[in-house]
Amino acid sequence: MCLAEIRHQRSAQRCLQTALGGPRAPHAYIFHGPEGVGKEMLARAFARVLLCEHPAKRAPDSEEEASIAAGGLIIDACGKCEDCTLMSAGSHPDFHLIYRELIEFHPDPKVRGRKALDLGVDVIREFLIAAAGSRPLRGRAKVYVVREAERMNVAAQNALLKTLEEPPPDTYIVLVTSSAARLLPTTRSRAQMVPFGPLPPEFVCERLLASEYELTGAEAQFLATVSEGRLGPALESAADELHEVKKHLLSETATLEPGRAVSWAKGVEEAGNCLAEAMSAARSEASQTDLKRHALGQLLSALAYAFDDVLRLHLGPGELRAHADQEDLIREMSGRLDPDRAARAVRCLAEAEANLHRNVNVVLTLEGLGAELTDLLHSAPTGVEGR
Ligand SMILES: [Zn+2]
């Protein structure tokens, strides 16, 4: 993909155009921002320009391009040369993706036997530092893109400092991370920071509808909203069928009756287990406990969006943001919950979700939450209490 074809990341694009248009592009970059918003895709497109035999300068041809151009021009790969063709095919010999699991290909059998829990010094030394010392195979440059750079441990980051500071000629290093704060200050200070933001929900929705998952418009809108502009997680949730699991859970929650908090909590836990099971297919390295907490977190967040939709019906233009596929249910809930109680329900769900990540007792948290939601759904509107 060409650099300028990647949309909705203007700040990052502007940084890269400025770097490419300058007298000497920096050799080290940190692409940082939320997970699943196109950082690695943009890193590949950037590498394509750096490796292209005849990078082209042209006038911007849209308002978005004009806003990212440096010196009034867009610099991009030609798309025609052999380097561009090799990059498109994913087989350019001077493009190197560095990731944890490369440890399985380490020449030392002792190292190979270790688990790829973090991005360790052995992988960084062998596949980045040592490799960067050799000449490019096709002559123009070498590009190293480090996936999940925040998982480099301290030893790996320290080992990389010198290469970041003074890389061998024509060597470019892009550290990709969703958590730049976890990189050492010494690493951060040696690279050009390139910021990424969330994607517009309409764009995420469009891409979900074009995906293999056969979603309805309302389901795509739900996934786009709860993923908060992160296309990667939205597609994962589509694969896990989060939209299906939440439908049942929302019905159960809307019809919560007094005295039923414990069985509601059991239902939530079962829905979480079901979702965690779906998730484990694609994330075999994650522990069952982590997956379950993650799944429950997603479900509570989906429910929080339901009460947020109730609030929108009361206060806003009346359009549902997340749960348009269960509009009747949300309308029915809004008849029973005034804005104050809807806002309190959102807060309760957010607190319970935060507690899940603090290793508290899951069952007790869910039962407590069920009791609070029951109270909110069944008590008189604020201001009438106690009369
Ligand atoms: Zn080219």
pTM of the predicted model over 0.75: yes
Domain spans, the chain: 3-195, 241-378
Give pLDDT tens digits for 146-205. 999 999 999 999 999 999 999 998 999 999 999 999 999 999 999 999 999 999 999 999
* Homologous superfamily of domain range 3-195: P-loop containing nucleotide triphosphate hydrolases (3.40.50.300)
What percent of the chain shows pLDDT beyond 70? 98
382 has a pLDDT exceeding 70: no
Q: Which of 317, 322, 290 is nearest to 303 (CA)?
A: 322
Give Rg (Cα) of the chain.
25
Task: Please state, in angstroms and rounded to a whole number, the distance separating the CA atoms of residues 147 and 276.
Answer: 24
3-class DSSP assignment, residue 28: strand
What are 195's two structure tokens? 């910021």
Burial class (CB in 10 A: 0-12, 13-18, 19+), 5: exposed
Give distance in angstroms: CA of 52 to centre of ligand 1.
4
H or E element: which one contains 303?
helix 288-315
| 317 against 100, higher pLDDT | 100
User: Angle at CA 157, nearest 5°, toward 153 and 162?
Assistant: 165
Give distance in angstroms: CA of 95 to centre of ligand 1.
14
Give distance in angstroms: CA of 288 to centre of ligand 1.
45
360 has a pLDDT exceeding 90: no
3-class DSSP assignment, residue 50: helix
Ion ligand 1, residues whose Cβ is below 5 A away: 52, 77-78, 81, 84
Give distance in angstroms: CA of 82 to centre of ligand 1.
7
Give distance in angstroms: CA of 49 to centre of ligand 1.
7
Give distance in angstroms: CA of 134 to centre of ligand 1.
23
Give distance in angstroms: CA of 199 to centre of ligand 1.
28
Give distance in angstroms: CA of 56 to centre of ligand 1.
8
pLDDT of residue 381: 61
Give distance in angstroms: CA of 141 to centre of ligand 1.
13
Give distance in angstroms: CA of 41 to centre of ligand 1.
17
Per the CB < 8 A criterion, the answer to whether 370 and 262 are in contact is yes
CA 342 to chain centre: 28
Q: Which of 85, 104, 322 is nearest to 224 (CA)?
A: 322
What are 58's two structure tokens? 């042209």
Task: Please state, in angstroms and rounded to a whole number, the distance separating the CA atoms of residues 37 and 39.
Answer: 6
